[in-house]
Chain A
Amino acid sequence: MHGATAAGAAFGLPAIWVATALLVATYAAVISERINRAVIALFGASLMIVLGILTQEKAVEGIDFNTIGLLIGMMVIVAVSRRTGMFEYLAIRSAKLVKANPAAIMLMLQIVTAVVSAFLDNVTTVLLVVPVTLVICDRLGVRPYPFLVAQVFASNVGGTATLIGDPPNILIGSRVGLSFNDFITNLAPAIIVIQLVACGLFYVIWGRRFEATLRARAKVMAFDERNAIVDRGLLVKSLIVLACVILGFVLSRRLNLEPATVALFGAATLLLLTCIGRSADDQTRTVSKTFEEVEWITIFFFIGLFIVIYGVESTGLLGILANKLVAATGGNLRVTVFAVLWASAILSSIVDNIPFVATMIPLVKDMAPAFGGPDGLMPVWWALSLGACLGGNGTIIGASANLTVAGLAERAGIRFAFVEYMKVAYPVMLVTVGLSMIYLELRYL
């Protein structure tokens, strides 16, 4: 409970009912996708205040500025550094490393996507790597669809490995107080295995049947990746800042800095470096162009969602649900971990994992007494992260990266149908969650 103004809820109804109705309505509206999700979240958040569940002051308290700051900071860093052409360079270099063999290119692009996604959010990663993938496939004369599906997977899998790779992890890390290193040491070993297995499965499903003519392969080998780098000065600055930011995340505990501070400090430093020596007008243009590339829809969606969930949390509903969940699993840690893993995976394959995880966090926190305090909950957090992040791979609507790639593909004239995607993706997703289950069992239970 957070001491909100629950007693003042509208219409004389108990606050817990009003808050629950608002949460359900917000979820339903987000799932229906009829109205932009940021608008829905902000509308739900405003109603939480207007209907007296929260005061404005309490609502602001509910916003996790660590998550917001981390997202904005990383978005600014990407917006500046992508202009160097470094992501095109990476993709082309990796394609040429394997002599433009299509199956090997698919493997390399999955690895590049997974690694980039571990440090940038998934949607940003696919927006950076998919266009250049399409150009490579176009020149190779191979069907791009398998490459895109494999990259969707890699972005969701790779993002699970770190605190900053996927919004559910950012949320869990921030609200539970887990560090960058906690995520790397607990999740990265599982993710490396899962990604390699996924690469193998996609090779069996598609890769082994790829064919490209020698002439087409020569076309790709003739790409000059050095020409992809359009601003060497900015490249050096971006790489230095990126390296410092990642080092900052690793050392954040020791430096006593929150991840948001590290990311925003990095963003401010990179912007400072790009502004030095330029005219005032030029600076304004560059800075405003950079801020335009921040995904404000995601940011405002988070802000609204935090308030809606804080409202529900303040009425005690999530505590009641947590007790029911503990009772249902008989207080058994193994049953709870596996239930959270599979329920998160199945639910995240059909609904956005961000509101789901944001709701689960306070609920899981309330389960701590049943498992001997916060430390006893650690396997549950890893199960929540693995389930929510990997489950998103199951369907086109399971994660934002999937929808983004499907949208890009459709615009480029590549069919990306719901059922066709699910036929391949759902079984592969179940394999990845099964591997997570084995990992959790072997390491924590």
Chain B
Amino acid sequence: MACQEIMNADPPVLHGTDTVGKALSLLLERRYLALPVVDSERRYLGLFAKSRLIGLMLPSIVALEDVLPKIAQMTDLAYLSDDIDDLRARFAALRDRPVSEYADREAPILKPDSPIMEAVLLIFRTRNYVPVVDPASRRLLGIVSTWDILAKLEGDK
């Protein structure tokens, strides 16, 4: 079985020009973990994950810890005096920025004919939604989520 048989072919998407504020509303409203970002011709631009929004609330160097040498990673931020108003102020400065600036272009993607086990492994590793993208046109064809796979388990009983 290939990914295209289990994917959700009509997922909600963000357009590259949508604002970070709109992305937050959509994530909160639907309780999604992430949303794919596309251009006006539905070409895939990257994945905008809620973890990215949380990362934007941190000092930039701390949010980079995945790419920093271990020794440069902060042990804790308990010493910072920020409160929720500071976080709101920081978010307000980002609210009108386009989501395309923050879309993760390195997040793993699947092809429509990728085997289903590749999707299961990627979802297990990323704890996220995995976009299905046509390799030739770069168009977003759908998304595979934990729910799609779990629903299949139930349906096959």
Contact = CB atoms under 8 A, between A and B. Distances in A.
A88 B80 contact: no
Given A78-B71, A88-B75, A127-B72, A408 B80 contact: no
A224 B59 CA distance: 16
Contact of A138 (B60, B70, B78, B81): B60
Interface in A209-261: 219, 222-228, 230
Interface stretch (A3-11, A79-87, A389-397): A79-87
Given A223-B79, A228-B79, A138 B74 contact: no
B80 A132 contact: no
B69 A127 contact: yes
Q: Per DSSP, are chain B's interface residues mostly helix, strand or loop, or mixed?
A: loop
Contacts of A224: 78-79, 81
B151 interface: no
A301 B35 CA distance: 44
B1 interface: no
Nearest to A226: B79
Contacts of B68: 131, 408, 411
Contact size range, B: 20 to 34
B57 interface: no
Given A127-B69, A223-B80, A292-B70, A408 B61 contact: yes
A329 B61 CA distance: 50
A169 B69 CA distance: 24
A411 B64 contact: yes
Given A82-B75, A223-B81, A228-B78, A131 B67 contact: no
Contact of A135 (B61, B64, B69, B72): B61
Interface string A143-171: 00000000000000000000000000000
Contact of B76 (A78, A223, A228): A228
A124 interface: yes
Nearest to A75: B71
A92 B75 CA distance: 14
Interface residues of A, number: 33
B71 A135 contact: no
Contacts of B75: 82-85, 88, 228, 230
B66 to A, nearest CB: 10
B53 interface: no
A225 B59 CA distance: 17
A417 B78 CA distance: 33
B72 A227 contact: no
Name A's interface SS. helix
B74 to A, nearest CB: 6
A225 B79 CA distance: 5
Interface string A69-100: 00000000011001111001000100000000
Contacts of A172: none
A131 B81 contact: no
A85 B76 contact: yes
Contacts of B60: 134, 138, 412-413
A128 B72 contact: yes
Contacts of B74: 88, 131-132, 135
A130 interface: yes
B56 interface: no
B120 interface: no
Interface string A106-145: 0000000000000000001001101110110011000000
A138 B76 contact: no
Given A134-B61, A135-B59, A135-B62, A128 B76 contact: no
A408 B72 CA distance: 9
A441 interface: no
Contacts of A282: none
Contacts of B70: 79, 292-293
Interface string A403-434: 00000100111000000000000000000000
16 contacts: A78-B71, A82-B75, A88-B79, A124-B71, A131-B74, A134-B60, A134-B61, A224-B79, A226-B79, A227-B76, A227-B78, A227-B79, A228-B76, A408-B72, A411-B67, A412-B61
Closest 10 CB pairs of A and B: A222-B81, A227-B78, A127-B72, A228-B79, A134-B61, A227-B79, A85-B75, A135-B59, A127-B71, A412-B61
Interface of A: 78-79, 82-85, 88, 92, 124, 127-128, 130-132, 134-135, 138-139, 219, 222-228, 230, 292-293, 408, 411-413
